[in-house]
Amino acid sequence: MKLEVDIERLASELDQLANFSEAEPPAVTRIVYSQADQQARLWLRNLCDESGLSTRVDALGNLFARWDVSGHSTGAVGTGSHIDAIPHSGRYDGTVGVLGGLEAIRTLKQSGFKPLRPIELLAFISEEPTRFGIGCLGSRMLCGSLKADQASALKDKQGDSLPAIREAAGFTGALEDVQLPPGYYNAFVELHIEQGPLLEREHIALGVVEGIAAPAALRVHLKGSGGHAGAVLMPQRRDAFLGAAELSLAVEAAALKSGSPDTVGTVGLCDIYPGAANSIPSAVKMEIDVRDVSLTHRDAAVESILQSARQICEKRKLEIETSILNADAPCKSGPAIVEALKQACEAENKTYKMMISRAYHDSLFMARIAPVAMLFIPCRNGYSHRPDEYASRQDIANGVAVLARTLASLAS
Ligand code: HGY
Ligand code: MN
Ligand code: MN
């Protein structure tokens, strides 16, 4: 099967998509349900309509674009990723899997391939945790691991609820209907940038992902007494930020001492109140991201962090509230999907290596309702979640060609 990926068209579409942003280029900010996100999703849906796919949007905002096969309504072969982007990030995270997935379908159509199963592109809603604190909202609901009432209880930092936000963004319908029926997908393959340095460093064209690490996110609120930065002497203070600072070092220690080189801990959010240079922090809201390929090590690190939080607050006479936003199991790729990816790499004469994804992806949840695997392409210096995130046209084209072949073999 001769495949001609139109990389010029795809590169131009990736640049167009990057313009739907609330950040100065080259940075991209596209928070879920924001104006930029809504406009991007409309633009994407038009692109899918123009490509001859039948499109629909569910009550949460997940976008489906299907290459229909008469007489086949279930057991589709799915591909896709996300287009929301964290603040001041790059233009390839997620978008390569959505626009690259569309290009793979167009390439197959162009080649005269006739699928025996529907092939469907999915642009998940809210893969990033930015707005609601928990990532993969769309895929969690599609696989049924997040129920409508749990989703409805989510609020953003302004205190607006998810139902109010999604309706204001024009998504209506019952959230109970988002969960996909059993057998909806027969397979799911996600193309994504590696978000790490290995492929580039080892000069390997593609990564076939055998599993996705186990992510967890904690929210910790510390409360002290605040006061005047000049008037309150040190022994009288209950400084919430110093508690947060000590806890941040405890997060680092929990990851380093976990006994596993794969444990990572990050404090990416730390809001100080009242946030004035001459006012002692009376409260701090922080979010802690903890992961490992092994669930046992990840859970042990979470437990160690929670214990440290209690001890630090006791010593510093701070009040503490902790909540676990999510603590998900890792997933293994489906052997048949991995095999299809490997054969497609060989058919395209591209080198590949077997890898684990340390980042989480929507495939982590799609794995609960279908066999999945991911295909990684290199990104420069392994950078991601940064404005200088970059994937070359050749690497993107390699990924799309192998994805197209894989979809074809799974849909035959
Ligand atoms: O955080 C992650 O792993 C993904 O980029 N949302
Ligand atoms: Mn990301
Ligand atoms: Mn991503």
Last-in-domain residue among 327, 344, 374: 327
CATH number of the domain encompassing residue 239: 3.30.70.360
CB atoms within 10 A of CB 282: 18
- pLDDT at 72 (0 to 100): 79
Contacts of 89 (CB under 8 A, 6+ apart): 27, 28, 29, 384, 385, 386, 387, 389
Mean pLDDT for the chain? 97
Residues 122 and 236 in one domain: no
CATH number of the domain encompassing residue 367: 3.40.630.10
User: Which atom of ligand 1 lies closest to the CA of 195?
Assistant: 5
Q: Which residues surround ligand 2, an ion (CB under 5 A)?
A: 93
Residues 184 and 313 in one domain: no
Residues 201 and 296 in one domain: no
Q: Which residues surround ligand 3, an ion (CB under 5 A)?
A: 93-94
Residues 107 and 117 in one domain: yes
Query: Has residue 1 been placed in a domain?
Result: no
Last-in-domain residue among 309, 327, 345: 327
Rounded to an integer, the average pLDDT of 404-412 is 97
Residues 234 and 192 in one domain: no
Q: Could you list the residue range(s) of the whole structural domain that residue 380 is in?
A: 7-213+330-410
Which residue, 316, 116, 343, 305, is CA-closest to 235?
Answer: 316
> How many structural domains does the chain have?
2
In this structure, the residues whose C-beta lies within 6 A of any atom of ligand 1 are 127-128, 135, 359-360
Do residues 344 and 409 lie in contact, with contact meaning Cβ atoms separated by under 8 Å? yes
Q: CA separation (Å) from 80 to 66, 77, 152?
A: 11, 11, 25
Alpha-carbon distance of 95 to 104, in angstroms, equals 13
Residue 73 pLDDT > 80, yes or no? no
Per-residue pLDDT tens over the stretch 81-131: 999 999 999 999 999 999 999 999 999 999 999 999 999 999 999 999 999
Query: Has residue 144 been placed in a domain?
Result: yes
The separation between CA 328 and the C-alpha centre of its own chain, rounded to angstroms, equals 13
Q: Which is it for strands 206-212 and 119-124: parallel, antiparallel or unpaired?
A: unpaired
> Which residue type, as a one-letter code, is found at position 133?
G
Pocket test for ligand 1, best of 360, 363, 384, 386 (most atoms within 8 A of CB): 360
Per-residue pLDDT tens over the stretch 211-266: 999 999 999 999 999 999 999 999 999 999 999 999 999 999 999 999 999 999 99
Torsion sign over Cα 31, 35, 38, 42: negative
Pocket test for ligand 1, best of 86, 89, 128 (most atoms within 8 A of CB): 128
pLDDT-based confidence at 2, cuts 50/70/90? confident
Cα–ligand 2 centroid distance for 137 (angstroms): 13
Torsion sign over Cα 385, 103, 197, 409: positive
